[in-house]
């Protein structure tokens, strides 16, 4: 896979690392989850290339191999980074695939920049419509107490937090669904994150409200989610996103955890490529 470094020509003037498979196929932009990097898509990029698509995966600012500025971790700025990538690489007729936190960038991108460059979108184990539980969002799966605990634990002991989080990320019904080597690889990607970025993005994906963004999505949409997701539970996120976008397709992966693109790559890739070809 060829590598393209995108730097100050981004709208945000932040260097964002991009892995671009190139080729003449329709582009698929892969937006990773928190607190990983574009390398978390390595089970998808070969399958996409083999199916004739151009796979473009990038590291969100503050994560992986990208620059790690002190700020800019709100969704509007992160979505401006995505628009910078789209313009820099002159990507058109794109499918945006947002995993977990990345689903927020997908929803906000269509609201802010419109569908001109977008062919379709995918919400994979994604946080929309609104994670934080509140009086006007009783179905939000993230309580204020749990959010505060996560922030405190990451602040107090980063290594311990990522070790525990990686287990939760890949577990369904109390059972780890990946190998220990895969779990350790995910911990390594977590450790590439900047601490400020990790904490600020945690606050962003936990508190951002995308309920007004989803009804404006008119392009073809796939919602894919594991029914064993204990990090971003399906009932409070994927099911509600599917309901908010009436024309959306839904694929629920049986027995799959949050990190279903790694634990169930064949099922995930089949659903994704089937949607891309539809």
Query: Catalytic site residues?
Result: 100, 229, 258
Q: Provide the terminal-to-terminal Cα distance of the chain, rounded to the nearest Å.
A: 26
Residue 173: CB atoms within 10 Å: 10
β-strand pairing of 175-176 with 16-20: unpaired
Residue with tokens 């313009």: 87
Query: 68 Cβ partners below 8 Å, 6+ apart?
Result: 61, 62, 194, 196, 197
Count Cα neighbours of 142 within 13 Å in the Cβ-side half-sphere.
22
Beta strands of the chain (E only): which ranges?
2-6, 16-20, 27-31, 54-58, 94-99, 118-124, 171-172, 175-176, 221-226, 249-253
Q: What is d(CA 249, CA 35) in angstroms, rounded to the nearest whole number?
A: 27
* CA–CA distance, 113 with 116 (Å, rounded to integer): 8
């Amino acid at each position: 896979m060829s590598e393209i470094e995108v730097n100050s020509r981004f709208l945000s003037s932040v260097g964002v690392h991009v892995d671009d498979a190139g080729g003449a196929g329709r582009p698929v932009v892969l937006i990773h989850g928190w607190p990983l990097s574009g390398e978390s898509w390595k089970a998808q990029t070969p399958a996409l290339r083999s199916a004739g698509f151009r796979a473009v995966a990038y590291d969100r600012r503050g994560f992986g191999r990208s620059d790690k500025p002190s700020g800019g971790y709100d969704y509007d700025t992160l979505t401006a980074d995505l628009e910078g990538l789209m313009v820099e690489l002159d990507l058109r007729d794109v499918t945006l695939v947002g995993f977990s936190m990345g689903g927020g960038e997908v929803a906000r991108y269509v609201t802010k920049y419109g569908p001109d460059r977008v062919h379709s979108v995918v919400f994979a184990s994604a946080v929309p419509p609104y994670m934080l539980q509140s009086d006007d969002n009783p179905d939000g799966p993230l309580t204020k107490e749990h959010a505060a605990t996560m922030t405190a634990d990451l602040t107090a002991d980063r290594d311990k937090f990522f070790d525990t989080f990686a287990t939760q990320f890949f577990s369904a019904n109390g059972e780890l669904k990946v190998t220990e080597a895969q779990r350790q690889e995910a911990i390594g990607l977590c450790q590439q994150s900047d601490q400020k970025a990790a904490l600020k993005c945690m606050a962003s994906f936990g508190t951002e409200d995308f309920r007004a963004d989803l009804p404006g999505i008119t392009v073809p949409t796939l919602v894919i989610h594991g029914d064993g997701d204990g990090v971003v539970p399906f009932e409070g996120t994927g099911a509600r996103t599917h309901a908010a976008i009436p024309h959306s397709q839904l694929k629920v992966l049986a027995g799959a955890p949050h990190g279903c693109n790694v634990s169930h790559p064949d099922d995930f890739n089949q659903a994704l490529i089937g949607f891309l070809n539809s």
